[in-house]
Amino acid sequence: MTDTREREMHFAQAQEIADVGSWQLDLTVGELDWSDECHRIFGISHDETVTFERFMDRVHPDDREYVETKWTAALDGEPYDIQHRIVVDGETKWVREKAELEFDGDGTPQKGIGVVKDITENKARERKIREQKRRYQSLFDSIQDAILVADDERNVVNCNSAFTDLFGYELAEMRGNDVTHIYDEHTESDVVECALDGSGDDTNVATTVQLEKKSGQVFPADVTIYERQRGSGESNGFVALIRDVSDREDRLNQMKVIDRVLRHNLRNDLNVIQGLAETAETPATEFEAVKIVDTCQKLLRTASKWREITSFLSSQPKKEPLDVVPIVESVASRTQARHPQTDVVVECPEQCRVVTTPALGTALEELVQNAVVHSSRDDVSVTVQVEPGETTGTIRVLDDGDSIPEMEQRVLSWEQDIEPLYHGSGMGLWLVNLVVRQSDGVLSFEENDPSGNVVTIRLPSYAPDE
């Protein structure tokens, strides 16, 4: 066997092993020469003359226009490196074709050489991997608790749909950020780090920390951290399972406040009624009669507020896009009608759309009413300002009446636990707080100048999909 013949045989064997065929094309005379492996891949007999038309007969009908377009472009000098389907004996296969063409001085194509590789198995593996990823992503997104995946440097690499729904961030906004981005303060991060450092050989750590949403709302969450490991057993970051427990905390605080109200407010008011009633053996003075009526009405108002709070907690409405401007204007109009001596001013743009619950109107009415009813002044003035923003819409209720007790503010802001001295004097503010929290918003308090209060509600702006 000559060296040339042996090289040809080895070349043919190599092409068969690699599922790669080759071809040569002389465009000046229209001759196309295929290697044996090309014939095998396309299922065309060696005795059959191969033409461009015969080749196109093997191309999948849905890919013919694409192949013709790419080949025409190659004749004009563009690269030819494509993947497409062919049909051989009723079976669909995938091939990758790559070619180089030679041109004369006028830019006319003269010759070409190319290779064809059978990539059917590669495509099958790719489909299998895509399907596995699809199933994994489907399972990942179906989990109701928020999931955050981070690398060994604590940088975010992935999150599920529940996370984006809870925190308001898209994955693109979180990817690459340190996980401390979602902690309320670095002290919360320290709590997690200490728990991880003290976990020993445990593969997961559970703790409760304060986290912060994109809207700025801070909420309590149970966080369980699972370590990710490489095959070698080395750390590859971690997965955090996050569960919002603010509803649980709201109910716990509600129970504490109810206990305080029942043991202090109601007891004191009932003592007043009892004391006045015991003097009823003699003709009651007008003052005593009015005091009994006022105290009873106060008790009824307290009970009414708690019914509203309990109702809200038992069946919280869903969030939806709402324009707050007509809501504010309606609340101001009703308050002005009930209290003609009060000056209610509205400063609003034409529109301010936010994502909130329909109970926002009730919350705003509570704030405006509180400013009027709990003021010792006869001519209290209330201003409601609405300010739209790119990420949050802001509503401010400003008054010049009596200051909201600091303890009330701190308890509602979760800056202070319920203590024996707290008596829940502002039941309406509890409802406001619940509505704002349910809307992923932030409620804050500050003093007005020279007197009174500024109560601010910040809610996520509504940004419809383009």
**Averaged pLDDT for residues 113-136:** 86
DSSP 187: H
Residue-wise pLDDT for 191-201, tens only, equals 556 655 555 44
Model confidence at 2: pLDDT above 60: no
Spatial distance between the Cα atoms of 343 and 84, rounded to a whole number of angstroms? 75
Q: What is the pLDDT of residue 87?
A: 95
pLDDT of residue 261: 59
Strands (E), 52-178: 80-88, 91-103, 109-118, 146-150, 156-159
Nearest to 386 by CA among 444, 324, 448, 461: 324
Identify the burial level of 197 via C-beta atoms within 10 angstroms of its C-beta, where 0-12 means exposed, 13-18 middle and 19 or more buried: exposed
Nearest of 240, 164, 179 to residue 440 by alpha carbon: 164
Q: Name, in order, each residue with C-beta under 8 angstroms of 241's C-beta and a sequence gap of 6 or more.
A: 145, 146, 147, 223, 224, 225, 226
CA angle (120 as vertex; 114, 121 as ends), nearest 5: 125
| Residue 405, preceding peptide bond in cis (omega within 30° of 0) | no
Residue 163 near residue 173, CB atoms below 8 Å: no
In this predicted structure, what is the pLDDT of residue 379? Answer: 80
| Predicted local distance difference test score (pLDDT) of residue 10 | 42
Q: Is 433 in contact with 364 (CB distance < 8 Å)? A: no
Tokens of 346: 């509205």
Q: What is the pLDDT of residue 418?
A: 44
The first and second tokens of residue 231, run together, are 């095959």
How many whole angstroms separate alpha carbon 342 and alpha carbon 369?
10
Alpha carbon distance, N-terminus to C-terminus of the chain:
71
pLDDT in tens, 184-239: 776 656 655 665 555 544 556 678 888 889 888 888 888 888 887 766 666 678 88
Residues 345-359 have a mean pLDDT of 92
Task: Supply the mean pLDDT for the chain.
Answer: 79
The arithmetic mean of pLDDT across residues 105-116, rounded, is: 90
Q: Under DSSP, is residue 156 helix (H, G, I), strand (E, B) or coil?
A: strand
Dihedral (Cα; 343, 347, 353, 358), 10-degree rounding:
0
What the block records as the tokens of 166 is 């809870």
Sheet of strand 442-447: strand arrangement: 343-347, 381-387, 392-399, 453-460, 442-447
E strand intervals along 264-417: 320-323, 343-347, 353-356, 381-387, 392-399
Helix axes 286-314, 427-438, angle to 10 degrees: 20
* Average pLDDT over every residue of 411-438: 61
Question: Which residue ranges make up each domain of the chain?
Answer: 3-124, 143-244, 248-460
Confidence of residue 358 (pLDDT cuts 50, 70, 90): confident
Closest CA to 195 of 226, 161, 173, 170: 226
Does 143-244 match 3-124 at the fold level? yes
Closest CA to 399 of 418, 380, 376: 380
Q: Dihedral sign for Cα 50, 52, 57, 61, please.
A: positive
Question: CATH assignment of 3-124, given 3.30.450.20, 3.40.50.720, 2.120.10.30, 1.20.120.1730?
Answer: 3.30.450.20
Q: For residues 180 and 189, what is the distance between their CA atoms, to the nearest angstrom?
A: 6
Q: Which helix (H) or strand (E) holds 349?
A: none
Q: Can you give the pLDDT at residue 222?
A: 87
* 427-438 and 360-373 helices, crossing angle to 10°: 150
Q: Domain spanning 143-244: which CATH class is it, in words?
A: alpha beta
Assigned CATH for 248-460: 3.30.565.10
